[in-house]
Structure 1
Amino acid sequence: MGDETIRGKPTRRDFVTYGSTAVGSGLLAGCSELVGQEGAAETETAGDESYSVSMEPMGSVAFDQVPERWAAYDGGYADMAVALGQADGLTGVGGADRYYTYVYDELPDVTIDRDVIEQYPEVRTKEEFYELESDVHLYDPQMLVNWFDWSEGDVDEIATNVAPFVGNLIFRRSDNWHDYRYYTLYEAFEKVAEVFQQQDRYEAFSELHTEFITSIQERLPPSDDRPEVFLTFEGTDEPETFSPYRLGDAGTSKKQWRDLGVHDALSGTDIDNLSTTNRGELDYENLLEIDPDVILVRGHERQSATAFRDTVLDYMQSHPVGSELTAVQNGRVYRGGYLNQGPIHNLFLTERAAKQLFPEEFGDVTGDEQLFDRQAVADIITGEFER
């Protein structure tokens, strides 16, 4: 999975669409010169319709027409496609249990077909890829190799016979097997925009996002007045142990915390970040040694803020050791946000995080105060914006 151009033979879908003329049409020509330019947008046209998108680990991937049907492994990439106005093309999701679509309910005229997600909630086998007949797979293929025992031959087979892969596992940066380039949320989003040829929507989102983050950061207290935060994963309502995350990891799942400039309670310790190979956990006695100002617990995104406080926080407050934690005593234990977030998710999660950490400035997390314009976001998604 290097930086070579992925072109090779026409896919099965090419034959369905174009018949035998696809083989010699030259639609996939002219892409090799795109290799090696990692930083900028790497889309180039060859002929009237074909173009290429370059993203590690697949390198340069050629398209003879804009994809209509797509599958995504995680909610972050699915959210990118929805943000680009492509919701109707969804065929399935690799990990639907971590794709949170309820945020779309707050955006006028933005919907996703839950029936499709529920019908194909774990698209991880070659048979499923063949069945769905997508035009592009928003997956990091090395994730399939390292998590689900695919071979490189399996990846090449699906890319050749069904549709290419475009994606990069970006939600964390602690996996030893990921030895190629990472992307920020908006770098990856830009690549997906190139796939769907929706650069105008991407630019509109990027501008809105920059203005929103700037408006939040202008209201933050000085660094010395920001809390020490412990981010963890624990999916039960009665937690006893906690899987640690390092906020310094530049993965997209921690973007909101970095943008808010909070301090990692694990700084200065030898505790490693949760990863494929590190599954270590901390107990309450370990947490007492750190004693963070705020505890953020992932694994509860199907609960409301109020329900979380009535279950997880209530349990910790009644725990003989947990109740000694400063964050628990002060009621500063909150939901920790999604592992896989796209640009729409990120707006909502940043708003929530600002309220969790700085309620005096941004309002209580259980309140209704909105920090960004829902209608403006919806207008970009539905195409009702100035280009």
Structure 2
Amino acid sequence: MQDRDISYGVPRRRDVLKAGCSILGGGVLAGCLGNDDASSADSTAAESTTNGESTAANDASTPYDVTVKPAGTNTFEEVPETYASFPGAWMDIAMALGIQPAAMMSLEQEQLKYYEALPDIDVDLDSVQPLLESSESEFDKEAFYEVDADVHLMDPRILKRYSGWDDSDLKEIEQNVGPILGSLIRFPYDRDPYYTLYEAFEKAAKIFQRQAQYEAWVDLKDSVFTEIQSRLPDDSPTVGAFIIRFNVDGKGFMAANIDAFRNDTRTFRKLGVDTAFKGETYVPYKKIGYEKLLEVDPEYIALVDNLTKSDNETFQETVEAAKNHETMSQLTAVQNDNFVRSAGTNMGPVIDLFSAEAVAMQLFPDEFGEWPGTIDDIPTENQLFDRQRVADIINGDV
């Protein structure tokens, strides 16, 4: 990295992007709760949707304000073109709008398979700059200055947690580089605020002034899930969802309540399954042992994020290990080979569709067809959404 003469105390380039966010540190604000696809309740007139454009970006009327809790409100004098982010849902949200990241904390290769499964979509990895050299690296403000992103799609609380920075450090980056506008949606962080997937998506569409693409996504998503839900059987199976790692020889399993407000288990809520941990909080998760697992004895065991982070061969090794385990082999799900892989951590609008399709096939093969093990091998006649339509929306043909 080249040495640069940087005056941290004086704004360096943001004459066109005013960093007006109010950083709220560890404070808790009232969240926007509701069903998974409800519109954000704190939308303002300045953030109203513009329809009627069939291009990638709408003609923005500047300046305009966008509010993303807990960061606050930023006034944009010009539509941002570049962003930096953590690996996660906000990258997939931006990708759904046709915008690749300028920089990431780290770029998880596994996420790219969803875009590679779409026609006419190219991901240029060489153009994405890392904000961290490795997972062991310390956070360096210089990297943020070098990237010089127009906006940072990051939850300031998470950035503070992993960087060790304080509010003055965040304010410095906002004043000298670009605003920090993001909010963790994997699960509620300190419970509030919490945006559902499409509430966060709507915020991003306003940031980049691509509301026409957002509206096209809403129409597509509604159509896909209406069709899936119309074909679901009357009897819903019971699913025990687990996140992080599912090691059959471990001392505990990380259980997640599907019914809780959390994006990483959204797929199962949309498919109407019953949680094995009804009445439990489990936010973000709770370590349970064999005794509790045997007590709830779910019909299916779901490995959340496994569809993204693992391949089918490794997944099958986990299933075989459970079958050969003295205690795990007593479970109904294990005896019936009822293991399910879903997406989770990085799930935005694109991955949401792939995850719903994969889980529908795994849970209800008689209705949706046999799951082949990978998203690439699903026969065209069994695909539950139009890949070309997704690609067209991403490319701005709405």
- TM-score range (shorter-chain normalised) is 0.7 to 0.9
Q: Does 2:393 match 1:380? A: yes
Q: 2:141 aligns with which of 126, 142, 156?
A: 126
**Any conservation in 2 of the 1:79–1:343 contact (CA below 8 Å)?**
yes
Q: Does 2:317 match 1:311? A: yes
**Any conservation in 1 of the 2:341–2:359 contact (CA below 8 Å)?**
no
Residue in 1 that maps onto 2:337? 331
Q: 2:47 aligns with which of 28, 34, 43?
A: 43
Cα 1:266–1:146 shift into 2, 3 Å: same
Cα 1:299–1:117 shift into 2, 3 Å: farther
* 1:25-40 correspondence to structure 2 within 5 Å: 38-39=42-43
Residue identity opposite 1:204 in structure 2: A
Residue in 2 that maps onto 1:189? 201
Q: Which runs of 5+ in 2 are unaligned?
A: 1-8, 23-29, 31-40, 51-59, 373-377
What RMSD, in angstroms, separates the aligned Cα atoms of the two structures?
Answer: 3.0
User: 1-side partners of 2:236 and 2:337: how far apart?
Assistant: 17
Q: 1:286 aligns with which of 270, 289, 292?
A: 292
User: 2-side partners of 1:256 and 1:247: how far apart?
Assistant: 9
Q: 1:209 aligns with which of 196, 221, 224?
A: 221
Q: Displacement of 1:130 after TM fit?
A: 1.7
Residue in 1 that maps onto 2:242? 232
Q: Displacement of 1:319 after TM fit?
A: 0.6
Looking at secondary structure, tell me which structure has more helix per residue: 1
Q: Which moved more, 1:147-156 or 1:182-191?
A: 147-156
Q: Displacement of 1:234 after TM fit?
A: 4.3
User: 1-side partners of 2:110 and 2:142: how far apart?
Assistant: 22
Cα 1:125–1:336 shift into 2, 3 Å: farther
Residue in 1 that maps onto 2:5? none
Q: Which runs of 5+ in 1 are unaligned?
A: 1-8, 16-21
Residue in 2 that maps onto 1:4? none
1:310 is paired with a residue of what secondary structure? helix
Q: Displacement of 1:31 after TM fit?
A: 11
Cα 1:243–1:264 shift into 2, 3 Å: same
Cα 1:129–1:99 shift into 2, 3 Å: farther
Q: 1:172 aligns with which of 182, 187, 211?
A: 187
2:362 is paired with a residue of what secondary structure? helix
Residue in 2 that maps onto 1:162? 177
* 1:1-387 correspondence to structure 2 within 5 Å: 11-14=11-14, 38-39=42-43, 42-43=46-47, 49-87=62-100, 90-97=101-108, 100-117=111-128, 119-120=130-131, 125-173=140-188, 175-176=189-190, 178-179=191-192, 181-222=193-234, 225-235=235-245, 239-240=249-250, 241-268=252-279, 270=280, 272-275=281-284, 280-298=286-304, 300=306, 301-305=308-312, 307-366=313-372, 367-368=378-379, 369-385=382-398
Deviation per CA, 1:111-141, whole angstroms, max 9, x where unpaired?
Answer: 2222345744669542321221101000011
Cα 1:98–1:160 shift into 2, 3 Å: farther
User: 2-side partners of 1:274 and 1:325: how far apart?
Assistant: 24
Residue in 1 that maps onto 2:3? none
Q: Displacement of 1:377 after TM fit?
A: 0.4
**Any conservation in 2 of the 1:309–1:334 contact (CA below 8 Å)?**
no
Q: Which moved more, 1:243-252 or 1:51-60?
A: 51-60
> What percent identity do the matched residue pairs reach?
37
1:14 is paired with a residue of what secondary structure? coil
Residue identity opposite 1:352 in structure 2: A
Cα 1:52–1:124 shift into 2, 3 Å: farther
User: 2-side partners of 1:70 and 1:362: how far apart?
Assistant: 38
User: 2-side partners of 1:161 and 1:381: how far apart?
Assistant: 31
**Any conservation in 1 of the 2:290–2:327 contact (CA below 8 Å)?**
yes
1:100 is paired with a residue of what secondary structure? helix
Q: Displacement of 1:42 after TM fit?
A: 4.2
Q: Which moved more, 1:344-353 or 1:329-338?
A: 329-338
Residue identity opposite 2:107 in structure 1: A
Residue in 1 that maps onto 2:375? none
- Specify which structure has the bigger relative contact order, considering alpha-carbon pairs within 8 angstroms and separated by 6 or more residues: 2
Q: Displacement of 1:253 after TM fit?
A: 1.3
2:121 is paired with a residue of what secondary structure? coil
**Any conservation in 2 of the 1:83–1:381 contact (CA below 8 Å)?**
yes
Q: Displacement of 1:310 after TM fit?
A: 2.5
